[in-house]
Structures are given as C-alpha cells and as structure tokens.
C-alpha cells in the first residue's frame, strides 16, 4: 500500500511538471482567443521561447537573461501574428500555421549556425537552470507520516516556473472577470462594434491580448529548455501548443476549467511513462505506441467536438473593420 501511495504521489508530481507548459500556453490562448484572435501559433511561440532561452543561457550563463530573452522572442512572434491578423485583417489560422512553420525552421537553422550540434544547444549545468526549490521545513515534515511525503514529493521541490504557472491561473481569472481591461477584452471577442462605439480601440485591445499571450508562451518555452530540460532539442515542443489549445477549447475559454484540462493531459502524459511495461489485470501489457499516442488521441477527440460542445467567443476569427 505504501509503495502504491508513493507511486501515485510521484505520478501527481510528474503531472504538475508536465502540465506546466500546457497551463502557461493555455492561459496565453485564453487571452488571445477571448479577444477574438485564433491563436494556433501557440506551438510556434512555445518552440521559439524554448530555443531562445537555451541559446541565450548558453551564451551568457544566466537563466534569468534566457527567460527574459524567451519572453521577448515570443512577444515578437505574437506581434507578427497581430500584424498579419489585426492590422492587415489576414486569415488567422493561416497566419498561426505560418508562424509555427517559421519557428520550426528558424530554430534549427540558427541552432546549427550558432552551436554546430544539428539544431540542438549545448547541455546546461545545474547553475544555468531554474532548479527545484526546497521549501522550509521539508526535513522536519518527513517525520510526519503521509503528510511529510506529500509535502516533499508534491508541494516542495518544483522550480520557480512551476509555481508561476500555478499562480497564473487565478491571476488570469481575476484579470478577465474582475478588471475593466478583462471586461473590455471579453466584450471585444463577443461584439467588437460595441467596444468601438464606446471609444475603445479594438486593435489595441487585441494587440495587448497577444502581448500577454506572448509573455506566457515565452515563460513556457523557457521552462521546457532551461528548467524541465537542460538544453534545446529539435521540435522539443512536441505538439504541446496544440494540446494547450485543445485544453482551452475543452475548458470553454475559462482559466480554471482550462487548468483542469491541462492537468488531465499532464496526468495522461505522466501515466504513460509510469505504465510502460506494466501488466494491467484483464488487459495485459499496453503497447508503448498506444500509451504515447493517448494524449494526442484525446486532443483530436476534443478538437473534433466528440467530448462536449464548447461555445467560443462570437467574434473569434473574424477580422474587425471599422
């Protein structure tokens, strides 16, 4: 029983770590899409942030400079998306896919030019990464059965960026539902004409939403390469931007519900690694290929509308013309 509880706690611990980039990208997607901008480019911004964070940290030795650079690079990609979709009223899906393709190619080309490692960056030392933070009283809490294990394995030991992702959820909910900016943002995604008639710039609101989304994606990318991982590898985002978008849709464009969806995807990912090679009663050993595909199968089912019928913002994907 004790071994089972420990394995369960370790799975929940892995769930938090694996769900962190999904949570941050989901919050980015909520801001963008609540303003009326389809943001398929989450994947490209995540990948760009991961590469820039690892590259700058490698060149400077500072993870903080890597984090700041990742945020700036991701915001820059957001501005390209905004320039195409808001200023020039282009197709938002096409623009998002173009950014994903651009990020996929540029990270490899620049990586090869800078480091000559086939698109990867050199491995970072522990001092060049955001390491886990051991909370006060961990050793003392170890003497308390169950609670001490939960405190050490589940609550303590995560990096600063994991805690930042958890704090981002209530912060986003507060901004969206308790501030004037949030009210205008939701209104511009539902009926931009009413916002414009009130003398508020629709374009500037949407640009600000994309900037916020870029910040979150930059943090998520930095987490992948200089916190959870120790370097950048080709295509290391591995579809997490698309999975985060599925979580946004599953959560009906609400931060708390999207957070739960991200935890679900994180749990599926964590359980996949834990159940590999394990014989399950009445089922037997599940093929590893099927286990690895489960998060993506669930994503496809969500996006196809087989699990619930989400209600998107009314003006999403529609360019606004004054």
- Over its length of 322 residues, how does the chain's per-residue pLDDT go in tens digits? 456 666 777 788 888 899 999 999 999 999 999 999 999 999 999 999 999 999 999 999 899 999 999 999 999 999 999 999 999 998 999 999 999 999 999 999 999 999 888 888 999 888 889 888 777 776 676 667 667 777 767 777 788 999 999 999 999 999 999 999 999 999 999 999 989 888 889 999 999 999 999 999 999 999 999 998 889 998 898 889 999 998 998 888 999 999 999 998 888 888 777 666 555 555 666 676 777 777 777 777 766 665 667 788 888 888 888 7
Taking the whole predicted model, whether its pTM rises above 0.85 is answered as yes
Q: Where are the alpha helices (DSSP H) in 130-254?
A: 138-141, 147-150, 160-178, 180-190, 192-197, 202-223, 240-250
d(CA 25, CA 102): 18
Q: How far apart are CA 305 and CA 277, in angstroms?
A: 32
Given a contact cutoff of 8 angstroms between Cβ atoms, the answer to whether 77 and 106 are in contact is no
Task: Determine which helix (DSSP H) or strand (DSSP E) holds 236, and give its type and residue range.
Answer: none
Contact 20, 165 (CB under 8 A): yes
**Terminus-to-terminus CA distance in the chain, angstroms?**
65
> What's the CATH number of domain 16-131+140-303, 1.10.287, 1.10.10, 1.10.3470, 2.30.29?
1.10.3470
Looking up tokens 């960026």, which residue turns up? Answer: 161
Rounded to the nearest 10 degrees, how much is the dihedral formed by the CA atoms of 114, 82, 310, 249? 10
Domain boundaries, the chain: 16-131+140-303
Q: Report how far residue 72's alpha carbon sits from residue 176's, in angstroms, rounded to the nearest whole number.
A: 23
Q: Angle at the Cα of 175 (from 76 to 96), degrees rounded to 5?
A: 30
- Measured between alpha carbons, how far is 13 from 266 in angstroms, rounded to an integer? 10
């Amino acid at each position: 029983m004790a071994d089972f509880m420990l394995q369960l706690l370790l799975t929940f611990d892995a769930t938090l770590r694996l769900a962190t980039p999904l949570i941050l990208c989901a919050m980015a997607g909520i801001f963008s899409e609540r303003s009326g901008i389809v943001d398929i480019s989450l994947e490209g911004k995540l990948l760009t942030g991961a590469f820039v964070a690892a590259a700058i940290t490698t060149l400077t030795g500072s993870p903080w400079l890597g984090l700041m650079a990742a945020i700036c690079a991701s915001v820059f990609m957001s501005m390209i998306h905004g320039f195409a979709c808001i200023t020039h009223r282009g197709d938002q899906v096409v623009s998002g896919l173009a950014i994903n393709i651009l990020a996929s190619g540029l990270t490899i080309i620049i990586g090869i030019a800078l480091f000559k490692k086939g698109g990867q960056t050199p491995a970072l030392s522990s001092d060049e990464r955001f390491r886990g933070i051991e909370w006060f009283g961990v050793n003392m809490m170890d003497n308390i059965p169950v609670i001490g294990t939960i405190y050490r394995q589940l609550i303590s030991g995560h990096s600063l960026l994991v805690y930042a992702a958890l704090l981002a959820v209530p912060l986003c909910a507060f901004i969206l539902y308790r501030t004037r900016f949030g009210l205008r943002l939701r209104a511009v995604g539902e009926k931009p004409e009413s916002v414009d008639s009130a003398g508020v710039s629709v374009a500037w609101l949407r640009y600000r939403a994309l900037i916020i989304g870029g910040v979150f994606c930059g943090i998520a990318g930095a987490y992948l390469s200089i916190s959870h991982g120790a370097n950048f590898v080709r295509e290391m985002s591995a579809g997490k931007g698309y999975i985060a978008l599925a979580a946004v849709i599953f959560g009906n464009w609400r931060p708390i519900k999207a957070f739960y969806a991200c935890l679900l995807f994180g749990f599926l990912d964590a359980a996949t690694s834990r159940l590999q090679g394990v014989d399950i009663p009445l089922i037997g050993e599940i093929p590893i290929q099927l286990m690895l595909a489960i998060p993506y199968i669930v994503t496809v089912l969500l996006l196809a509308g087989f699990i619930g019928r989400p209600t998107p913002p009314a003006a999403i994907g529609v360019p606004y013309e004054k």
